[in-house]
Structures are given as C-alpha cells and as structure tokens.
Chains A and B, each alone.
Chain A
C-alpha cells in the first residue's frame, strides 16, 4: 500500500517501491546475464568440431631420422622418429638453462618417438624442420620463421619470443607401432 505519492515512503525506511525497484533491477541484471550466455557460448567449438577429437597414426613406415606431419583438430602434429644423437642431445640439454624447464624424459613416452603439436607457442605459425632440407634452427629441432623462435630436439623453446615448449598432445600407444592422438 503506497502511503506517499513521491515514493519516498517516509521516515528513512525503504518503501515497497524501493524494494520493488531493487528486486526488479536485480532480476533484470541476472536475466540479462543468463540471456547473454547462450549468445557468447554459441561461439565456442560446436559439437561436430569437438567430435573430431582423435587421430590414429601408424608409426611403422617412419624411418629413424624422419618426421611426418598429421592433422589433429585442424592442427598439425609432428611425429619425429629421433636418432640416437638427437635423443642424447635432448637429454644432455635438460640442465642447459631452459626458458620453460622440462626434462626430455617427461616429454616422451618412448625416447625415439617425439610427438608434438606443430604450432609455435608464440603466435601460432608452423615451425620449419619437418623435412631435412628445411632449416632446423640453432638447436637442431625446429625453427619458426614468423618471428624467429628456435626449438631443440625435444621441441623445447631455446631462443626467440615463444614463451613455452611445443605442446605434447595427449596420446597413447595402441601397440608398438601405432598411436592414437587425443
């Protein structure tokens, strides 16, 4: 029951109208946030994009020293069959003052197979070094030509603007010569 026409309700108490105002504004704000969320969330990956989440790779044809690129979730994945030298070099560099410290052993499941997301952690270019004819940078791994990041034979960042090592995707060995990425 409104006692005053000016809506002040008198005597320093909150009037019913004040309470209605606060409650309605609050409800409208919460409602607006709820209504905005589906619009924002619709821009996240859709179900079909999420469904393409795993890829199988046959390792048998990859010779020692060779690298192949497969596509997983629209991104390249590097699968490198490392040589003894490359493995030794990667392990030796574990204590070489790495920008993003990680032991080589923690980045592989089997030392000869190095599996990496082939996307530079700087701004997303694809580093060179998959073919022996491409420059592999100062550390024998990969070199990103976009802004000059050098990765070593464990895919760790050694020099340049990239902040992190090349990402190791989730993968499992299905048997000795087959992996599933994702």
Chain B
C-alpha cells in the first residue's frame, strides 16, 4: 500500500535496474498486485480483472485487424469482407473483436452495478469511482467509432445520427458537425478520422485504467460489508487467493465468448450491417448496439432535440456526482433495506429502457420510455438523497472477520 517502505530486491539484475530506474518499486507501490485484500470479496469483485482482460483482447485482436482493414469509404466494407473470407483466421479474429466488445460492456455494466450496490463510490473512493466513469465514457466513444468501421448501413446511419447530436448545440452546432465530418455529410473523411481515434482511444483507456488501479491501491478495495479493514485478521493475500478466483471467472468469460464466436457470431449484431453503406437510403428501423440502447431510449423519449441530447449525456454524467447524491454513511446495500429495493428498481428501469431503445419510437413503447427516463433521473436526484435521510440501516457487523466467521459472540455495533 501507499506508505509502505520501498523493498530491497535480492535479484541482482532487478537491483541494478532499480538503482537507476526505480520502476519495480514504483509499480509495486501503485498498481502491483501484492496487496492485503479483504477476505470476504465475492465473485462480483472479479469483474474489474475481467475488464482488464477484455481490454487486452480488444487491443490484440484490433492490432491484427488493423493490418488487413482499409479505412476508405469505397474500400472499408470490402476489406472487412476480405478479412472474413480471405485472411487466415480473419473471421475468427473479427468475431472475437466484435463479440469481445459486447462482453466488455456486459462486464462493465456488472462492475458499475456492483459499485452502486456496495457503495464503492463513497468516501474515500470518489476519485476511483469518477475515473471509472471516465473509462466508461471513452469505452462508449471507442465502441461507437469501431462500429462505424465496417461501413455497413448500420455503421453509416449510426455515425450520422450520433454525430448529428452535436448539431443540437446552439449557434455553433452546424459548424461543429461539419468539422466532425470533414464534409457536409458522413463520408470517407469521417471514416478515416474515426479509424484514427478508434486506434488511439483504447490506449487512453489503458492509461486511465492505470490511474484507476492506483487509486484502488491507496485505500484498497471495498468489500461486501462496506466496512473498513481493521487489521490483518480481516485480510488475506491477493496471491494466490484472489488470483485463483479470478482465473476461474476468466475461464467462464472465455467460454461465453467462445460460444458466441463459434455458434452465434452475429446474434448481437444487426443484419443490415452486411449491406454496404448507402447515403441515400436510411434503413427503416435503425437501432444501436444493445449496450447503447438505454441511452438511446432516453434520447428519443424527450421530444425536444437539445433537451434529448442533454438528458442522454446527463444520464451518464450524473454518475460523477453520485458520491454526493447518496447521503447515507453506510456503504453496503446489504445493510440498507430501503436502498436495496430502490437499487433493484433502478436495474429493472435500466433494462426497461434497454427494451424501449430497440422499439420504434412511437405508441406505448414511447410512453414507457418516458416514464422510465423520468424514473431514472428521479432515482439519482431525488430518491437517493432522501433514502439516505429516512432509512434506518441494519446494524453493521463488528468487523469483516466476524461477518465472515459468523462468530456472533460480539454484539453487533449499531449503525451510525
């Protein structure tokens, strides 16, 4: 952990390097895996490691795809078909990249929900949480631009609709969209800059991830009880206890990825993206990738263009102030009977929005989307602050150790 004295290394080579460039002690002090960890972490805590694995898979497959892909309006679609048909194992690499992106989002949603349920965003982990939100935003930008690259119909119209969001900005909106496109509509110049950024942003994610893990190491991970580690009896070493746990989760993740890639590689995709981009024909029903649907539903729920865009971005930006919106001093949802119910309502609300985002924006689906959007903001801005005031939390366990061993000998401490 942070204040620990720098270690003396026995390996002479490491010692030689360390004397000149103290990289080993620096890595160990900031992001090294060797930290005492609460002994009660459950499987929901494995998703952080899983996300790192997913990022590595995207970068490795992406670099290989980039060797065969051509970013040009008249060649991009064919180059992806070339990857699929001619390049050795090209189909495999592309399907791993495309489905890997989907699972990446699945894992990040679980990871975020875990943080929300166990109050991991609370003091002293606010910056850790906010860095996570930054990563999520860059991930969204990366995945969106990646989806444009195959230059199919969905790629093209997703690019059109999303870049047009910026035309909602008053006064300079039109200039900004023209600048984003490098033309008067989405076209080859747009594709090439998206490609450049799609290559760059994952490395930005990598950088912010290092900060994220560094912040994690300062106070250590939260845990299912939400109470602080009080001494060595509450912890176990990360290696091998958690590394082994993570490895089993990694294998499960790889199995799910394999099932998708080998049996249903296009299940999460959209068939219209196998039609080349046509700037004169919008598909009858355009939908984003599943992981963007809730936010898309919020955008469409609001009948005003600018307000719709503000609400869509606001629905994520509100996470930044979550540590201050939640007024309860008890971290874990385990000991918050009222909060717990609202948490699950929010999860349902999010899934309802996801469903709405896939429906045409009219009739009952639109009304449902409006109610769900209103509830989403209500949860963060009204319900969370109030619940913190009115709720009577359950008594917290004495320590992590007593909660694990169930030695109810010590009388439970009343919640503050």
Contact = CB atoms under 8 A, between A and B. Distances in A.
Interface of A: 40, 43-46, 49, 69, 71, 73-76, 119, 122-126, 145-148, 160-163
Contacts of B193: 43
B279 A75 contact: yes
Contact of A45 (B161, B183, B281): B183
Contacts of A146: 161, 282, 286, 361
A49 B184 contact: yes
A19 to B, nearest CB: 37
B285 A145 contact: yes
Chain A interface mostly:
loop
Contact of A161 (B178, B280, B284, B308): B308
Interface string B344-375: 00000000000000001110000000000000
Contacts of B40: none
B339 interface: no
Interface string B267-305: 000000000000111101110000000000000101111
Nearest to B185: A74
B164 interface: yes
B305 A43 contact: no
Interface in B235-285: 279-282, 284-285
A125 B184 contact: no
Contacts of B279: 71, 74-76
B131 interface: no
Contacts of B281: 126
Given A125-B160, A146-B286, A161-B300, A43 B280 contact: no
B280 A49 contact: no
Contacts of A69: 280
Contact of B179 (A44, A74, A122, A161): A44
A162 B167 CA distance: 12
Contacts of B161: 123-125, 146
29 contacts: A40-B179, A43-B179, A44-B178, A44-B179, A45-B182, A45-B189, A49-B182, A69-B280, A71-B280, A74-B184, A74-B279, A75-B279, A123-B161, A123-B164, A123-B305, A124-B160, A124-B161, A124-B163, A125-B282, A145-B284, A145-B285, A147-B361, A148-B362, A161-B302, A161-B304, A161-B305, A161-B308, A162-B305, A163-B306
Interface string B160-187: 1101110100000000001111111111
Contacts of A161: 300, 302-305, 308
B195 interface: no
A69 B278 CA distance: 13
B284 A125 contact: no
Residue among B163, B182, B282, B305 with the highest chain A CB neighbour number at 10 A: B282
B157 interface: yes
A64 B361 CA distance: 33
Nearest to A49: B183
A44 B282 contact: no
Contacts of B179: 40, 43-44
B273 to A, nearest CB: 16
A117 B284 CA distance: 19
Contacts of B187: 49, 74
Given A44-B182, A160-B303, 9 more contacts: A49-B184, A69-B280, A74-B279, A75-B279, A124-B164, A124-B185, A126-B280, A148-B361, A161-B304
